[in-house]
Structure 1
Amino acid sequence: MRLKLLSPGEMSPEQKSTYDESIASKRGRPPPPMMAWLNSPEMAKHATRLGAFLRFDTVFEAKLSEIAILVTARHWSSHYEWYAHKRLALKGGMDPKIIDDIRDRRVPKFDDPKGQLIYEVAKSLHEGHGLSKRLYDDAIKTLGERGVVEIIGLCGYYTMVSMTLNTFEFELPEGEVSELL
């Protein structure tokens, strides 16, 4: 870890307010990158609120949101993010084979056309920096405008999360080993 993370007793009132808000949220605890973001308390407050919305309140069930998050974690080779969201994806009912395929950079086979499109949109955003007309049209038809906007939000937010975790070298919990090469 490259950064000293503050304990609640070391936080300014503004930092502590954001920290307390995260504990009172659906998460029940502060997300690890927020602890780094607290160095910019206003950013931490807004980023944490955005993250809570994207994690819990999009139009997608958890299993579908986790596709975009795992694609993003894999794109950035964010070891901590992969570790955390693989567990959440499994808990949300994602097929372990899909998780393995994303990890190994193979194209997964989805039974659900929404899952397939979320995967394609996330991959295209990261690797192609946008969407082809065909992919855009298919995504709008299947996911709706709100769904496409929220996939973009998930990929963008979890890019920031991955960059934070990678830059400050957040470590996996003791005894855990990264699956990402």
Structure 2
Amino acid sequence: MSSEQRKICDETLAGPRSSLPAPLKAWLFRPELARRGQSLGAYARYGTSLPTELSELAILVTARYWMSEYEWHAHKREALHAGITPDIIDAIETDATPRFADAKSACVFALVNELYVSRSLSAESYERGIAELGQDGMIDLVAIAGYYSFVAMTLNVFDIGVPDGVARPFAELRKTNGGP
């Protein structure tokens, strides 16, 4: 590792993270990208206005959309820890619509899905998001979806998959959709 790469790793570990994020393996080849990416990631993961369970829900929807196996593997654990129930996680993994007990979670799920399918939000969905999450929450939700899409693409393109011995959650789907 170069001194610049080592410095970025040290900066990353000095923040809220206990380990280096997986996409850093690719980003470190471009140190300034690594510095900025991990900084945005620290905000998206630890600094938004959304409660952890809503952030993790948005991340799982993103991981499923991109079929990012490492992202799914890492954030499934985080989602469970944040209180998202296994039945909701299983539904997302199989591309089913979960049954949510609260309006905010249902809203986040619907908004992130609509964003990926439509590449925007309808006026009605936007207003629902503002009503449920507030303006800060809506901005942060879009930031989370955008950042974790960047992460998912990095993990997929540079084949940073699940650790050895861990089942690949989207292996069959990726085969049918032309992935590795």
TM-score (norm 1): 0.91
In structure 2, stretches of 5+ residues that fail to align are 174-180
What do residues 95-140 of structure 1 show as CA deviations (whole Å, max 9, x unaligned)?
A: 1111111111111111111111111111011111010111000101
The list of structure 1 runs, each at least 4 consecutive aligned residues, that deviate by more than 4 angstroms after superposition, is none
The TM-score with structure 2 as length reference comes to 0.92
Shift of residue 171, structure 1, vs aligned partner? 2.7
Residue 43 of structure 1 pairs with residue 67 of structure 2: no
Within the alignment, does 1:161 sit opposite 2:161 as a pair? no
Q: What's 2:178 paired with?
A: none
Shift of 1:13: 2.0
Structure 1 counterpart SS, 2:163: coil
Write the deviation string for residues 76-106 of structure 1: whole angstroms up to 9, x where unpaired.
0001111111011001110111111111111
Tell me, yes or no, if structure 1 residue 136 matches structure 2 residue 126.
yes
> 1:56 is matched with which residue?
46
Aligned to 1:27: 17
Look up the equivalent residue of 2:50 and give its one-letter code: F
Cα drift, residue 161 of structure 1: 0.5
Q: Secondary structure at the match of 2:23?
A: helix
Letter paired with 2:28: L
Q: Which amino acid aligns with 1:50?
A: L
Q: Report percent identity of matched pairs.
A: 42
RMSD (Å) for aligned C-alpha atoms: 0.9
* More divergent stretch after superposition (123-132 vs 166-175): 166-175
TM-superposed CA distance for 1:58, in Å, is 1.0
Partner of 1:91: 81
Unaligned runs of 5+ in 1: 1-10
